[in-house]
Amino acid sequence: MTRKKLIALFIALPPAASLVSLLIHPSILTSIFIFLVPQALILSYLNRSLITKSILFALTSIPVLLIIDFISHSLGQWIVPSTSFPIKLLGNVPIEDSIWVFILTYITIMFYEYFLDKHKTKKPYGKKFFTLAGFFTLAPIIYYLLGSLFPELYQIKYFYLTWGTVGIFIPTALFLSKFPKVTFKFVCTGLYFFWLALNYELTALFLGWWYFPKGSEFIGWVSISGLNFPLEEFIFWLVLCAMGTLSWFEYFDDDCK
C-alpha cells in the first residue's frame, strides 16, 4: 500500500468506527477495540522495530491516568456509568480507562514515529526514561496515599483545567519553545488525533459511554449537534493531547529532533 493510501485509510478509520458503533451499540470496552486497535495493529506491523519502545513508554501513562480519573470521578467531573469488569480500580475508576490510555499513547508514538519522525533512536529506553517512569509511577501513588489521609487534597477547584494546564499545555509550550523544529511534526500528529478524538468523543456522548455533569466546574462548554462537552475536553484531549504526549516522549525517551 502506498503512503497516500495508508494515510487515507487512517483518516477513514475514525468515522468508520463511529458508524460501526452507532449500528451495534457496543460497550465502552468494545469501543476501544473498534476505535484504537486497528491503528495499533497496522502500525505495529509497519513499525515493528519500535514496538518495545512504544509499549514501555505507553505503560508510564497508566499510573498518571489512574489518579487523574480517580479525582475526576470523585469530583463528579467525568462519569463512566458502566464497566464490563466486576471491579473498579481505586474504587471508582473503570479498568477500561487504563486500557484506553495505554493503547492511545501507544498509537500516538507509533503514528508519529512511522509517518513523521525521521530521527529514530534504536534503544528502547535511555537514562531519562527511568526518571520519567519513576516519577509517573511514584508521584500518583504518593498523592493517592496522602489524599487518603487528607481528603481535602482531592478537592481541587477546576480540576480538569488544572491538570490539563500542568500536564499537557505547559510541557507542550516549553518543549516547542526550546525545540521549534519539531512543531510541524507535532501539529501534523495532533491533527490526526484531533480527528480521531472528535469522532470518539461525539460517539461516546451519543451512546452514553461517558458524560460530564453540567454542575461540575468547567470554564465553558462546546456543543456539536446537540452533544455537549467541556471546553477543557476540547482543548486538552481533542487539540493538545497528542502533542502533550509527544513532548514528554521526545524529551524523556527520544532525541528531541
pLDDT digits (tens, 9 = 90+) for 68-118: 999 999 998 889 999 999 999 998 999 999 999 999 999 999 999 999 876
Q: With a cut of 90, say whether residue 121 has pLDDT above it.
A: no
Backbone φ and ψ for 229, nearest 5 degrees, come out as -150, 160
Beta bridge partners of 89: 93
Residue 129: pLDDT band with limits 50, 70, 90: confident
Q: With a cut of 80, say whether residue 150 has pLDDT above it.
A: yes
d(CA 199, CA 195): 6
Rounded to an integer, the average pLDDT of 184-192 is: 97
% the chain with pLDDT above 90: 76
The pLDDT tens digits for 83-93 are 999 999 998 99
Q: Domain containing 246: what range?
A: 3-253
Please give the grid coordinates belonging to residue 205: 456522548
What pLDDT, on the 0 to 100 scale, is given for residue 122? 59
Rounded to an integer, the average pLDDT of 147-155 is: 88
What pLDDT, on the 0 to 100 scale, is given for residue 119? 59
Residue 27: pLDDT band with limits 50, 70, 90: very high
Residue 3: pLDDT band with limits 50, 70, 90: confident
> 230 vs 67, 108, 217, 220, 224, CA distance in Å?
20, 23, 9, 6, 11
What pLDDT, on the 0 to 100 scale, is given for residue 120? 59
What pLDDT, on the 0 to 100 scale, is given for residue 257? 72
Q: What is the pTM of this model?
A: 0.94
Rounded to an integer, the average pLDDT of 227-242 is: 96
What pLDDT, on the 0 to 100 scale, is given for residue 130? 87
Strands (E), the chain: 221-224, 227-230
More confident residue, 216 or 133: 133
Give me the half-sphere count of Cα atoms (radius 13 Å) on the Cβ side of residue 231. 8
CB 62 within 8 A of CB 101: yes
d(CA 119, CA 76): 43
Rounded to an integer, the average pLDDT of 54-68 is: 94
> 108 vs 178, 194, 246, CA distance in Å?
21, 11, 8
DSSP secondary structure string, 41-52?
HHHHHHTGGGHH
Q: How many CB atoms lie within 10 A of CB 207?
A: 16
d(CA 176, CA 78): 30
Nearest Cα residue to 68 out of 165, 149, 150, 133 = 165
Domain count within the chain: 1
d(CA 231, CA 209): 19
CB 236 within 8 A of CB 112: no
